[in-house]
Structure 1
């Protein structure tokens, strides 16, 4: 089996594993039976689980979102599935996900911190923390991001500057095929770096390249089948190679961020903060000087908050931009229409955010790329903060909840042709841009993406800059039909490895 090969278990280890399963099987079965019998109401339906294994045999661990979306067709918009012995409630479809995350935001607003994320973040930072730590770090991060231009002219200028550096890289390939992964990742990483540290990095900087590479590798590894198994059966930790690599990468990234923070500390001026890190250091210093006990503004929270912003702020936006180039190459008639609109409205100057209202088709294309790309198909797991009665079902406090975002972005009740790339989803009959309630790529409610407005600005400015200056085509000998839209395996969905040609339109 591929999963066993991925675990790389030796014969002796297999015997130990098999013995452990035999011992734990009856214990888990009795526990599950006792738990079900003590319920306070009707629980959501779902496929019958096996002891220990749960519904493991029903799941494609490399692409579980597909399995879960299929199950929703049979069991409805709210159902129970067992990831090994762990009970998980899945929310499917726009109406149900919105009702849970927005209308019942408090009840469904906590983070379910799986074993790999428990080890990875240790309760620090924003993404994988709860309670006061999460509230304080999120509040601080939102405030600091806004202070340094998120959604404002300040970050617009940073992004426009970065589009020029990235354009130079694309030009160097002179229209020949190249992999867009690294240059796009570097450009997007530099936006959050400039906000966090107050300055950007050169694409050739070895430290920067290593940080970006390891961060992106971890996002890919966290979505691997072996890590899904580890989250189900934490006692497998010693045999999971990917777990060891993830934690090694994490350790290296934290050391690198620590070095950058220490350098900023040496030249810190409380009256002139250069970025988010400086703001945090000032808050930390003030807390120490006032003798504040149990302050959350300590070094570990700083390191993991920056790591969260760096990782989340790079991977999702960069993946969306790479999908945008691939889709333009695959659908040249859409690319033609985008470029005609940009040429007519923008002319010879640099596109700016103010142009968006006059570029309805381009805006619709960007939104449709996000919808079809489906970057975070299962969101990040939530957990119930209390016992919940929801849509006629009882969900116990502490139950893991998966808002299946792929079922929102592909909801047949909300989208005319949900499985087709169709910018008309965001246009009215007069060709004007229209918002759609079921457009939820950043999730919703209390845990909505902290950098949503920054990401929206990046997507618009990078995409319009790309299309203004380049024509994207498949490599010679490859037709549009041969471009593969199957996503790579990972926690987020990036395009599978491919090359494109960026042909200058100014030649």
Structure 2
């Protein structure tokens, strides 16, 4: 009797979910009809989720609803819809939805903006929908089932390895005695705050480690991936690389490395770096959550609604860019060759949740990119043409380039050395 009773209960549960899923929600944006339990996951390709969402927007419009499992999520696509939401709603779209893996990583602490799990390798099987999703994504969609199946453990093990390294570094920088002292870094400032004048324990070791972990993951992953893409695209487009190097030689002269203030005098180099960031759509989307009832695209969304402003749809919006799917530095140049700032250039997001490190990241990227091309010519390995370099993104937390090798040839000497562009770290 027990198995029959269990089957009966499961059948009733499935019927209830099916009826609930098929009941239209008044006032919500349109979207594809969800299936029981999995919602619309079967429509989202794991390697190109943002492309799948952009295709759905062609059918349902710039503001539509998708079901991530049982969670209804509103997706915004295109420059107009995304900018209206990010800039025009003020604090009402400044929250982040609860993401299960982040909560585990940070132990429930609300430090920083949004940490990121260590990249895991997505499953490559082509069978049922669940074989196309990484264990971390499945854990976020179905936390209880994920906890039962221990889907989060590989990520947590890698995070703990990083935490152990950070604790060692923090201990090495901890001052020998409490009191004011020279502050040379973000870490020094955190440690100083925790000395003596921290009655609430906000700057205890666990919170300091959490802050530094956010900085390491959010601050280095995006910059390093962008530079890898830049190197790869220069090898793929040698004529663009040549024009950058001609401008660097002409403006900087022999023997002087680039400085931050040189950006204004290097319009083509600046345009190329901006086009790299636009073309790669490194971080396709970071979810938001309505902090209050919010009207978007004519729809009143209740407080707590997850919202995905699809940044890749802005960076590839055909109404904003002349050749959105081509690598074209001319997007950022006028007829006279002057650099042009474009309103639809939003790789760092916009509004209340704009990337806090945008200014630092821009300077870092310029100095490293210009310095690299000032010293080296980037070429495909022998036997491979520039067009043979693979520019299909390998999905992880960011859209990294696939692992391959470039040759960095010192200018003007001809001694070559290897420069590897790494793809995402292989998962377990």
Return the TM-score normalized by structure 2: 0.87
For residues 123-162 of structure 1, what are the alpha-carbon distances to aligned partners after superposition, in whole Å with 9 as ceiling and x for unaligned? Answer: 3321349xxxxxxxxxxxxxxxxxxxxxxxxxxxxxxxxx
Q: 1:297 to 1:362 in 2, by over 3 A?
A: same
Contact 1:97 1:403 in 2 (8 A): yes
In structure 1, the partner of 2:426 is none
1:377 and 1:251 map into 2 onto residues whose CA distance is 27
Contact 2:29 2:63 in 1 (8 A): yes
Higher RCO (CA < 8 A, seq sep 6+):
1
Q: 1:22 to 1:401 in 2, by over 3 A?
A: farther
Structure 2 residue aligned with 1:103, among 88, 92, 95?
88
In structure 2, the partner of 1:225 is 134
In structure 1, the partner of 2:229 is 323
In structure 2, the partner of 1:127 is 113
In structure 1, the partner of 2:154 is 245
In terms of fraction of residues, the more helix-rich structure is 1
- Shift of residue 455 of structure 1? 0.7
Q: Does 1:300 align with 2:206?
A: yes
Q: Does 1:115 align with 2:100?
A: yes
Contact 1:92 1:407 in 2 (8 A): yes
In structure 2, the partner of 1:361 is 268
In structure 2, the partner of 1:78 is 63
Residue ranges of structure 1 left out of the alignment (5+ in a row): 1-17, 130-214
In structure 1, the partner of 2:164 is 255
Structure 2 residue aligned with 1:48, among 30, 33, 37?
33
1:240 and 1:469 map into 2 onto residues whose CA distance is 50
Q: 1:27 to 1:285 in 2, by over 3 A?
A: farther
Map 1:295-444; keep pairs closer than 5 Å.
296-348=202-254, 349-378=256-285, 380-444=286-350
Aligned residues: 395
For residues 305-339 of structure 1, what are the alpha-carbon distances to aligned partners after superposition, in whole Å with 9 as ceiling and x for unaligned? Answer: 11011111111111110111111111111011001
1:375 and 1:485 map into 2 onto residues whose CA distance is 13
In structure 1, the partner of 2:381 is 475
Q: Does 1:67 align with 2:56?
A: no
For residues 416-463 of structure 1, what are the alpha-carbon distances to aligned partners after superposition, in whole Å with 9 as ceiling and x for unaligned? Answer: 100000000000000000000000001112221111111101110011
Q: Secondary structure at the residue paired with 1:89?
A: strand
2:344 and 2:378 map into 1 onto residues whose CA distance is 30
In structure 2, the partner of 1:25 is 14
Q: 1:483 to 1:240 in 2, by over 3 A?
A: farther
For residues 321-361 of structure 1, what are the alpha-carbon distances to aligned partners after superposition, in whole Å with 9 as ceiling and x for unaligned? Answer: 01111111111110110010000000111111121111100
Q: Does 1:87 align with 2:76?
A: no
Return the TM-score normalized by structure 1: 0.74
Contact 2:120 2:134 in 1 (8 A): no
Contact 2:95 2:290 in 1 (8 A): yes
- Shift of residue 76 of structure 1? 1.0
1:342 and 1:465 map into 2 onto residues whose CA distance is 9
Q: Does 1:264 align with 2:253?
A: no
In structure 2, the partner of 1:150 is none
For residues 107-128 of structure 1, what are the alpha-carbon distances to aligned partners after superposition, in whole Å with 9 as ceiling and x for unaligned? Answer: 1110112111121222332134
Contact 2:139 2:151 in 1 (8 A): no
2:11 and 2:134 map into 1 onto residues whose CA distance is 22
Q: 1:434 to 1:311 in 2, by over 3 A?
A: same
Q: Does 1:284 align with 2:190?
A: no
2:41 and 2:367 map into 1 onto residues whose CA distance is 43
Q: Secondary structure at the residue paired with 1:110?
A: coil
Residue ranges of structure 2 left out of the alignment (5+ in a row): 1-6, 124-132, 414-428
Q: 1:401 to 1:20 in 2, by over 3 A?
A: farther
Q: 1:123 to 1:356 in 2, by over 3 A?
A: same
Q: Secondary structure at the residue paired with 1:112?
A: coil
CA RMSD across the alignment: 2.3
Structure 2 residue aligned with 1:453, among 353, 359, 365?
359
Contact 1:386 1:397 in 2 (8 A): yes
1:20 and 1:457 map into 2 onto residues whose CA distance is 60
